[in-house]
Amino acid sequence: MLAMWVPEMPFQLAWLQDPGLRDRPMAFLSPGPQRTPCLWLVNRLARSEGLAAGEPLDQALRRVPGLRVLDPAPQTWWEAQGLLGEFLQHWSPQGLLGRMGEALLDLGGTGRLFGPPQDAAARIQRELARDTGWSSRGGLSRSATAARLATRGRTPLEVVPDGAEQVFLAPQPLGRLPDLAPRLRWRFQHLGLRRLGDLQPVPLATLTQLMPEAEARQVLAQARGEDRPRLPMLADPLERSRHPWRLEPPRLAEEVALACWCLDRLWNEGRSPRQLVLRWWDVDGEAHRWQAPADALARPPLALAPLVEAGFRQGARRRILVHRLELELAWGLGRTPGLFESPLVRRLDRLEPALARLRRRYPEQPVLPGWARPSR
């Protein structure tokens, strides 16, 4: 299992636009209107000067006169994270995107294509640097937790041999476990458990007194390097696409320009939707879902996009800020593709690009394939 990490991805994107920023302390402003502007993200050089996230801007500039402060671009960063996922799809179908600049990739079964995992990992890092200009760190291990923590090593690619996972994880602090809640971390510290090596010999029966059994099994497997998760598919299924949108800062539903954003996705796609589902999440974690009715999918994008926004506004009646949306589309002439398609249906599928051009030429009229016309 290969863990990939692009350190300080937002700052690396800024370096690509302005190479002169590479060796300077940098920070991004906190998004949204504030009475006192504060720092949001701080790079390694700025942290070495004593700066930290949340520090007032005027105070930070007095302490570090050479600090370069940039406006945030969260949507650009999440698009870059999606680009990382698309790049990794060429190496393995199974993987998982984590926090900004982090990913986990299953290299099992790819030996005939790319050679041993260590050689494949080094090749992935080289091609990522060549294609995007990003410098990355990699961790290779059978344990997902060991692979993630190995990316924080001193070498560009750290390999944890089989059977050495517990020894490697023992000196790591407990705070580096990805799914450990703060309240559990505080309990462990109160009991004198500060490193993964302190947690490894704890029996499961003892740990279940502090947390549910399923969670205790997961924490012990991560601490001992025995976690072998089955990763999901990196790519969307055929004829489907997902379009995430993170709102920074979060905003009320009436402040989200969803119709324009949705129109851009529908207009640039050369296929007809056969299913459209919109999901969104409030800042308190509550999830919502809206699905377009089947008879509305034949409408042109100029009519379908406002309908999506209307459905969103109708479902988002809580006076709670929205921080994330996702548009999921299934494509294909308004029908579900069958396993065994007839030659006639395959020929109709090849007409879809021509239909897309007609939709752009007549944006206010529905353009349907011949077989979808109502019979007289």
Peptide bond into 249 cis (omega under 30): yes
Instruction: With cut-offs at 50, 70 and 90, classify the pLDDT of residue 308.
Output: very high
pLDDT of 326 reads 93
Q: Tell me whether residue 323 is in a domain.
A: yes
* 17 in any annotated domain: no
Structural domain contains residue 92: no
d(CA 16, CA 18): 6
Q: Is residue 352 part of a domain?
A: yes
Please say if the pLDDT value at position 121 is more than 70: yes
In a domain, 91, yes or no: no
For residue 334, pLDDT over 50 is answered with no
Among 35, 2, 28, 3, which residue's Cα sits nearest to residue 13?
28
Number of domains present in the structure of the chain: 1
Inside any domain, residue 30: no
**pLDDT tens figures, 57-67:** 999 999 999 99
Provide the pLDDT for residue 296.
Answer: 85
**Which of 71-85, 335-349, 360-374 has the weakest average pLDDT?**
335-349
- Provide the CATH number for the domain around residue 321: 3.30.1490
Report if residue 183 sits inside a domain: no
Decide if 47 contacts 11 (C-beta within 8 A). Answer: no
Average pLDDT, rounded, for the chain? 86
Length of the chain: 376
pTM above 0.85, yes or no: no
The reply to whether 269 falls in a domain is: yes
Asked whether residue 373 carries a pLDDT value surpassing 60, the answer given is: no
Residue 291 domain boundaries: 240-372
